[in-house]
């Protein structure tokens, strides 16, 4: 059993350093051609009245800057000379504000500690942005997400276009930075993989603690407390997303985060929880086990099936494969098993083609994982699924949810009551690895969270 931690581990402070952020900026600058990029930080978000949520930086901004304050804007300017390509607009030092909300790095700190070539107070953005964008052939800015910065970008570009007949130059296009930036974020560096390993290690420990503590009569929220206590004690920021602690039928609600019920003897408990580190790398793990330590016959049949599907899908993660193949692998095992158990009828190909399994398995088998839990990066480019490559990290998380919430499709058997209220998902985080380094082509970052059927019992 993992020990209760009384001090944060050193490794949680081993954040990705400024050298890594500088390398990322250079790679992004190389991809931008002669387009100037405008990348805003996240704002603070109000929770209720004038209370704010804990600050969460925008992942694109963080990836490029490592700067963890709200209300900032980064400019990446490939068209400018050396020493003027990275400009940060930040909140200036202001003792009267800092005494309430904490220290700021300010303009000087942005240059001294975060590698900015030039830095300015955010309030100067409207005045200086047209100057910095001048001479760029395009402007890379994500429209629709940043209500304060967007009008400034559009105004600067509009002014350039108005003056073009006399100046002879203006940016020709507003382009999306995401395809370029998210291509970089999709393939993790060795340092990033190390951070994801750490997030997964802490998350796995929390799952082990939770399984060993769970008893009939406990509240779902008590289990949530145990898990999140471990995240914080280990030095993580906290949960990466709303922890799902779902006893019995609650597990059939995919995004159940109320965690307000009592655990019942004879039910399963599904826990989907992962931590977020100080530098925002995330774990995302789901485990399901019997509250009283023994599976019923039906629970065991379905658990064994989800586990078989999950193991087969994990085995399909390797360079050259695709996320779609990973999903298809899990789906086929699930459908064949459900046919054997009499929960589906027909032949596997027909059931898959018609989607006649979706009342039992209604989500995809995984998603990219990184600075965002549902991380950025394309799954398809046009008609082509993106090939898995070393450094990509994805979750593998098939599940079965037997309830009467969704209608049974025509031609499929009615569900006997003995199966109802069983929700099972098993989720691991898997890095694609070079087969020269890891023969099977992948590394299960969450392997420390047990999942064998026998290990779920006591
Ligand atoms: N915990 C969110 C997910 O598994 O996608
Ligand atoms: Mn997930
Ligand atoms: Mn999850």
pLDDT score, position 113: 95
Identify the CATH number of the domain in which residue 387 sits: 3.90.230.10
Q: Is 284 a catalytic residue?
A: yes
Same domain, 301 and 239: yes
377, 368 Cβ separation under 8 angstroms: yes
User: Which among 113, 255, 294, 458 is annotated as catalytic?
Assistant: 255
Same domain, 175 and 195: no
Residue 387: DSSP 8-state:
B
Atom 5 (ligand 1) nearest CA: 374
Q: Read off the tokens for 352.
A: 């898959």
* Single residue among 121, 151, 183 that ends a domain in this structure: 183
d(Cα 401, Cα 254) in Å, to the nearest integer?
Answer: 9
Same domain, 317 and 383: yes
pLDDT digits (tens, 9 = 90+) for 277-329: 999 999 999 999 999 999 999 999 999 999 999 999 999 999 999 999 999 99
Asked whether residue 32 is domain-assigned, the answer is yes
Q: Is 303 a catalytic residue?
A: no
Asked whether residue 2 is domain-assigned, the answer is no
Asked whether residue 1 is domain-assigned, the answer is no
Same domain, 316 and 433: yes
Of all residues in the chain, the percent with pLDDT exceeding 90 is 96
pLDDT score, position 6: 61
Q: Is 36 helix (H, G, I), strand (E, B) or coil?
A: strand
Of all residues in the chain, the percent with pLDDT exceeding 70 is 97
d(Cα 352, Cα 34) in Å, to the nearest integer?
Answer: 47
249, 420 Cβ separation under 8 angstroms: yes
Q: Is 132 a catalytic residue?
A: no
Same domain, 204 and 146: no
Asked whether residue 422 is domain-assigned, the answer is yes
What spacing in Å lies between the alpha carbon of 395 and ligand 2's midpoint?
6
Same domain, 191 and 176: no
Residue with the larger pLDDT of the pair 16 and 403: 403
Atom 4 (ligand 1) nearest CA: 284
What spacing in Å lies between the alpha carbon of 41 and ligand 2's midpoint?
25
pLDDT score, position 68: 96
Same domain, 159 and 116: yes
Task: Using the atom order of ligand 1, give the atom closest to the CA of residue 241.
Answer: 1
Instruction: Look up tokens 């979706």; give the residue.
Output: 358
Asked whether residue 431 is domain-assigned, the answer is yes
What does residue 152 show for φ and ψ, rounded to 5 degrees?
-70, -40
Please name every residue paired with 331 in a beta bridge, in sequence order, or none if there are none: none
303, 341 Cβ separation under 8 angstroms: no
pLDDT reading at 15 higher than 90? no
Tell me what the mean pLDDT of segment 123-140 comes to: 97
pLDDT digits (tens, 9 = 90+) for 422-454: 999 999 999 999 999 999 999 999 999 999 999
Q: Is 364 in the pocket of ligand 1 (CB under 6 A)?
A: no
Number of folded domains that form the chain: 2
* Single residue among 153, 183, 213 that ends a domain in this structure: 183
Q: Is 134 in the pocket of ligand 1 (CB under 6 A)?
A: no
- Please report the beta strands in 377-441, taking only residues with DSSP state E, as ranges in sequence order: 380-381, 384-385, 393-396, 399-402, 422-425, 428-432
Q: Is 158 helix (H, G, I), strand (E, B) or coil?
A: helix
Identify the CATH number of the domain in which residue 64 sits: 3.40.350.10
User: 342: exposed, middle or buried (C-beta count within 10 Å: 0-12, 13-18, 19+)?
Assistant: exposed
Same domain, 258 and 399: yes
Tell me what the mean pLDDT of segment 132-161 comes to: 97
pLDDT reading at 114 higher than 80? yes
Confidence of residue 8 (pLDDT cuts 50, 70, 90): low
Confidence of residue 16 (pLDDT cuts 50, 70, 90): confident
pLDDT score, position 439: 98
Q: Is 55 in the pocket of ligand 1 (CB under 6 A)?
A: no
Residue with the larger pLDDT of the pair 15 and 405: 405
CB atoms within 10 A of CB 232: 14
Same domain, 335 and 260: yes
User: Concatenated DSSP letters for 168-233?
Assistant: -----EEE-SHHHHHHHHHS--HHHHHHHHHHHHHHHHHHHHHHHH--TT-BHHHHHHHHHHHHHH
Q: Read off the tokens for 172.
A: 């020709």
Asked whether residue 364 is domain-assigned, the answer is yes
pLDDT reading at 215 higher than 70? yes
Same domain, 401 and 321: yes
Asked whether residue 48 is domain-assigned, the answer is yes
76, 30 Cβ separation under 8 angstroms: no
Q: Is 272 a catalytic residue?
A: yes
Task: Using the atom order of ligand 1, give the atom closest to the CA of residue 274.
Answer: 1
61, 41 Cβ separation under 8 angstroms: yes
* Single residue among 164, 183, 202 that ends a domain in this structure: 183
pLDDT reading at 20 higher than 90? yes
pLDDT reading at 241 higher than 90? yes
Tell me what the mean pLDDT of segment 213-240 comes to: 98
Same domain, 408 and 352: yes
What spacing in Å lies between the alpha carbon of 116 and ligand 3's midpoint?
36
Name the CA radius of gyration of the chain, rounded. Answer: 25
User: Which among 50, 410, 417, 437 is annotated as catalytic?
Assistant: 50
Q: Is 265 a catalytic residue?
A: no
Residue with the larger pLDDT of the pair 256 and 13: 256
Q: Which domain holds residue 222?
A: 187-456
Same domain, 253 and 305: yes
User: Which among 303, 401, 428, 433 is annotated as catalytic?
Assistant: 401
Asked whether residue 285 is domain-assigned, the answer is yes
The residue whose CB lies within 8 Å of the most ligand 1 atoms, and thus the one to mutate among 241, 365, 375, is 241
pLDDT score, position 7: 62
């Amino acid at each position: 059993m993992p020990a209760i931690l009384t001090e944060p581990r050193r490794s949680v402070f081993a954040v990705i350093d400024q050298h890594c952020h500088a390398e990322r900026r250079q790679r992004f600058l190389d991809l931008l051609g002669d387009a100037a990029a405008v990348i805003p930080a996240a704002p603070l978000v109000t929770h209720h009245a004038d209370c704010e949520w804990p600050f969460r930086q925008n992942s694109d901004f963080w990836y490029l800057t490592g700067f963890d304050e709200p209300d900032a804007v980064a400019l990446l300017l490939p068209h400018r000379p050396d020493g003027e390509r990275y400009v940060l607009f930040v909140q200036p030092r202001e003792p009267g504000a800092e005494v309430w909300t904490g220290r700021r790095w300010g303009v000087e700190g942005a240059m001294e500690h975060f590698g900015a070539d030039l830095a300015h107070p955010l309030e100067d953005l409207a005045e200086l942005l047209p100057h910095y964008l001048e001479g760029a052939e395009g402007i890379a800015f994500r429209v629709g997400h940043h209500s304060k910065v967007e009008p400034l970008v559009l105004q600067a570009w509009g002014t350039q276009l108005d003056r073009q007949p006399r100046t002879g130059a203006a940016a020709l296009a507003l382009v999306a930075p995401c395809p370029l930036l998210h291509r970089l974020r999709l393939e993790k560096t060795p340092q990033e993989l190390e951070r994801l390993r750490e997030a997964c290690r802490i998350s796995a420990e929390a799952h082990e603690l939770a399984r060993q503590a769970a008893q009939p009569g406990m509240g779902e929220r008590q289990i949530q407390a145990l898990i999140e206590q471990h995240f914080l004690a280990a030095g993580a920021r906290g949960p990466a997303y709303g922890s799902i602690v779902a006893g019995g039928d609650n597990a059939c609600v995919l995004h159940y985060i109320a965690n307000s019920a009592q655990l019942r003897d004879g039910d399963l408990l599904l826990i989907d929880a992962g931590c977020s580190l100080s530098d925002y790398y995330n774990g995302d793990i789901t485990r399901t086990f019997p509250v009283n330590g023994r599976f019923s016959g039906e629970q065991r049949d379905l658990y064994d099936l989800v586990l078989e599907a999950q193991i087969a899908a994990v085995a399909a993660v390797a360079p050259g494969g695709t996320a779609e193949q990973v999903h298809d692998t899990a789906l086929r095992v699930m459908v064949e098993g459900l046919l054997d158990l009499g929960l589906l009828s027909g032949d596997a190909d027909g059931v898959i083609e018609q989607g006649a399994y979706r009342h039992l398995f209604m989500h995809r088998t995984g998603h990219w994982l990184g600075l965002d839990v549902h991380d950025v990066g394309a799954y398809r480019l046009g008609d082509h699924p993106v090939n898995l490559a070393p450094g990509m990290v994805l979750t593998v998380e098939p599940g079965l949810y037997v309830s009467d919430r969704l209608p049974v499709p025509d031609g499929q058997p009615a569900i006997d009551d003995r199966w109802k209220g069983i929700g099972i998902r098993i989720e691991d985080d898997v890095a694609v690895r070079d087969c020269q380094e890891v023969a099977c082509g992948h590394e299960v970052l969450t392997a420390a969270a047990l999942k064998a059927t026998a290990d779920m019992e006591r």
